[in-house]
Amino acid sequence: SQQGEEDPQALSIQEGENATMNCSYKTSINNLQWYRQNSGRGLVHLILIRSNEREKHSGRLRVTLDTSKKSSSLLITASRAADTASYFCAPNTGGFKTIFGAGTRLFVKA
């Protein structure tokens, strides 16, 4: 099974600053996804990047993928208090099984 490992485990920043979270994994993947979870709620899909892509943007989100280093990063620009949440990466090697990383807990101070 494939599990992402995220870094840092927790991150506290001021509103307006950028937040960067990193994810490393161990084997070849088909795609890697990032999800957000507000406290005690369901997960929300943020962005999917395929193994043949290097960078992807969605609004204030930028995801990069380096398959040679088996790593991905999620950048949130101009953060807002509403971005306070846990962020999980989910590398997918094919099939149904998604193993979520431990997550990064982001706290954005207003």
Partner 1 sequence: DTEVTQTPKHLVMGMTNKKSLKCEQHMGHRAMYWYKQKAKKPPELMFVYSYEKLSINESVPSRFSPECPNSSLLNLHLHALQPEDSALYLCASSPEREGLFPPETQYFGPGTRLLVL
Footprint of partner 1 on this chain (CB under 8 A)? 30-31, 33, 35, 40-45, 48, 88, 92-103, 105
Whole-number minimum distance, CB 82 to partner 1, in Å? Answer: 17
Two tokens at 71?
């790593």
Q: Of the two residues 41 and 69, which places its CB atom closer to partner 1 in the complex?
A: 41
Contacts of 34 (CB under 8 A, 6+ apart): 23, 45, 46, 47, 48, 61, 63, 72, 74, 87, 88, 89, 90
Q: Of the two residues 39 and 110, which places its CB atom closer to partner 1 in the complex?
A: 39
Whole-number minimum distance, CB 13 to partner 1, in Å? Answer: 20
